[in-house]
Chains A and B, each alone.
Chain A
């Protein structure tokens, strides 16, 4: 019994460390579908406020931006507070035109010592560095069920 354990321990003695030196050696852990900072396509956004409506952390405000955006007559775009955001991607999923996407910019890359910099204006959101990972296409669109059951009041009407 004890010898078995010893053999196992010896095996681990000769393995390399599993942990990673963040941030000195490597970047934060990333996958091809990681949900990081948002990127906004201002040429697509219509200013419909749907992203603001579904945000569970209430971190999206609609702000006005000057410029030539024909698809957005009121020129209102989302401004996202990254210190409040939970990176749930609901805004990406529910945006009707797919203007919002998420990038690989995550982990300590988002840390800041100045709280005033967490509020990302629409223009800043356009310029987020990092590869785009999650877009509207990555969400499964629901098929409409053949028949969504009868819905009477159940149990203790």
Chain B
């Protein structure tokens, strides 16, 4: 790759254009990026190994700590995997509340993403409005779960905290606020001609390519391929609510943005439906002992970035024998970026936009 005209530039981890604590080594030909090598490891803690050394109830607090933007799906997946080992049937009420939690997390994550992409393009103003809406969701979590970002709400067996008496009214109020703000951001961001010029035809992927690269989530749906675990392999009570799976057509950065915004409205509608089913005076949790019998548990959830899989093996006792996590950021940051660079002419100015449009979560890759 090193030729007379190739320049090597280190990009990140302190650069505002990278989506978090990750670095890239870029080979530039003029201002075209010809090759990118991801430099991971800034957040490596060995989560899988750490989870093997902690007990089942401690692992709840560990299961979500590697993705700030979307911790709820990780937490729910861990709880579901443990429940899978013991074949537990949790109360319906807990399932509905988990759905509300998951969709709130998805909305917060997508809103935060619009801040990233706005920042990478230079359109920060609408992005600040999005953060306002996210802040309202974080405050809601602060009331329901006690903390703003890491909630610790879903544990193996159900829901951990009692819900406040005005749970439904408060949630509806937050949803109205978020919906209004999201529509404003969508108007100001997606219809902006600068945004369109910067994202249209950038980082195109076809459905076949996306599937070949192992991509799921909004990036796959933007290519026009209708695949969503909530519909294709429903978990919790997703088969009992009505919602659409938004898809794009050509799979470029603009399509991904449109899909994410449409998903916000679908999530809001799912929460509204789930809220009607929540019964505040009914049980929320079943008792799962401190020791788990031998067995295997798998849970797959559709997180904000795509399919998240957790596989736990128990040999009985207080701790898991092996925990395996698989999330979407790995292909997004490695193979997808490589593939797009090899196929398309991406300049150094477009590189942050491309990264932001994929919406990876670097700690997720490092773990």
Q: Which residues of A contact B (CB under 8 A)?
A: 1-2, 4-5, 8-9, 11-12, 18, 29, 31-35, 54-56, 86-90, 93-94, 102, 133-134, 138-145, 148-156
Enumerate chain A residues within 8 angstroms of B284, measured Cβ to Cβ.
Answer: 140
Contact across chains for A151 and B293 when beta carbons are under 8 A apart: yes
Number of A-B residue pairs at CB separation under 8 A: 119
Q: A18-B135, A29-B148, A34-B146 are in contact. Are A140 and B162 (CB under 8 A)?
A: yes
Q: B185-207, CB under 8 A of A: which get 1 and which 0? A: 00110011100000000000000
Q: A149-B86, A155-B296 are in contact. Are A35 and B146 (CB under 8 A)?
A: yes
Choose from A90, A143, A156 the contact partner of B57 (Cβ within 8 Å).
Answer: A90
Which residue of B is nearest A134, CB measured?
B146
Q: A34-B142, A142-B285 are in contact. Are A148 and B191 (CB under 8 A)?
A: no
What are 23 A-B interface contacts by the 8 Å CB criterion? A5-B188, A11-B184, A29-B142, A33-B164, A35-B146, A54-B55, A54-B57, A56-B54, A86-B61, A90-B58, A93-B160, A139-B162, A142-B158, A142-B285, A143-B286, A144-B286, A144-B287, A145-B286, A148-B288, A149-B88, A150-B87, A151-B293, A151-B294
Contact across chains for B188 and A8 when beta carbons are under 8 A apart: yes
Enumerate chain A residues within 8 angstroms of B283, measured Cβ to Cβ.
Answer: 140, 143
Enumerate chain A residues within 8 angstroms of B287, measured Cβ to Cβ.
Answer: 141-145
A-B pairs with lowest CB-CB distance, top 10 = A149-B87, A142-B287, A56-B58, A35-B146, A88-B61, A142-B285, A31-B142, A145-B286, A140-B285, A151-B293
Cβ of B7 within 8 Å of any chain A Cβ, yes or no, is no
Cβ of B139 within 8 Å of any chain A Cβ, yes or no, is yes
Most chain A beta carbons < 10 A, residue from B129, B147, B285, B293: B147
Which residue of A is nearest B54, CB measured?
A56
- The A interface, classified by DSSP as helix, strand, loop or mixed, is loop
Contact across chains for A33 and B161 when beta carbons are under 8 A apart: yes
Choose from B147, B152, B184 the contact partner of A8 (Cβ within 8 Å).
Answer: B184
Cβ of B159 within 8 Å of any chain A Cβ, yes or no, is yes
Q: Which residues of chain B from 163 to 183 have a CB within 8 Å of any chain A CB?
A: 164
For the A-B complex with A9-B125, A139-B160, A148-B86 known, give 9 more contacts whose Cβ atoms are closer than 8 Å. A29-B148, A31-B143, A32-B164, A33-B142, A142-B286, A145-B287, A148-B288, A149-B88, A153-B295
Enumerate chain A residues within 8 angstroms of B54, measured Cβ to Cβ.
Answer: 56
**Assembled-state Cα–Cα distance A89/B298 (Å):** 27
Which residue of B is nearest A86, CB measured?
B61
Contact across chains for B187 and A33 when beta carbons are under 8 A apart: no
Choose from B55, B85, B161, B192 the contact partner of A140 (Cβ within 8 Å).
Answer: B161
